[in-house]
Amino acid sequence: MINVLIVEDDPMVAKFNKQYLEEIDGFHLVGIANSFDSAMEYIKTTVIDLILLDIYMAGKNGLELLKDIRDNELQNIDVILITAATDVDSIQTALRNGAVDYIIKPFEFERFHHSLATYKGKFHLLNKQGALNQDVLDSEIFHQREKRVSLLPKGLSKSTLQVIFNAMEELKGEAFSTDEVAEKSNISRVSVRKYLKFLNEIGVLGERMTYGPVGRPTYLYTYKKSNKSAISKFL
% the chain with pLDDT above 90? 46
For residue 226, the 8-state DSSP code is G
Separation between Cα atoms, residue 204 and residue 222, nearest integer Å? 9
Beta bridge partners of residue 28, listed in sequence order? 3
Q: Please provide the average confidence, as pLDDT, over all residues in the chain.
A: 86
Beta bridge partners of residue 101, listed in sequence order? 80
90 within 8 A of 64, measured Cβ to Cβ: no
Strand ranges for the chain from DSSP E: 2-7, 27-33, 50-53, 78-83, 101-104, 205-211, 217-223
Give the residue-averaged pLDDT of 226-231. Answer: 78
Peptide bond just before 217 cis, omega within 30 deg: no
| CATH architecture assigned to 158-232 | Orthogonal Bundle (1.10)
Alpha-carbon torsion angle 221, 223, 227, 228, nearest 10: 130
Predicted structure pTM score: 0.60
pLDDT band at 149 (very low <50, low <70, confident <90, very high): very low
CATH 3.40.50.2300 occupies which residues in the chain?
2-141
Give the residue-averaged pLDDT of 30-37. Answer: 95
Task: Assess whether pLDDT exceeds 90 at residue 55.
Answer: yes
Give the residue-averaged pLDDT of 147-151. Answer: 50
Which CATH number among 3.90.550.10, 2.60.40.1930, 3.40.50.10490, 3.40.50.2300 corresponds to the domain 2-141? 3.40.50.2300
The confidence score (pLDDT) of residue 78 equals: 95
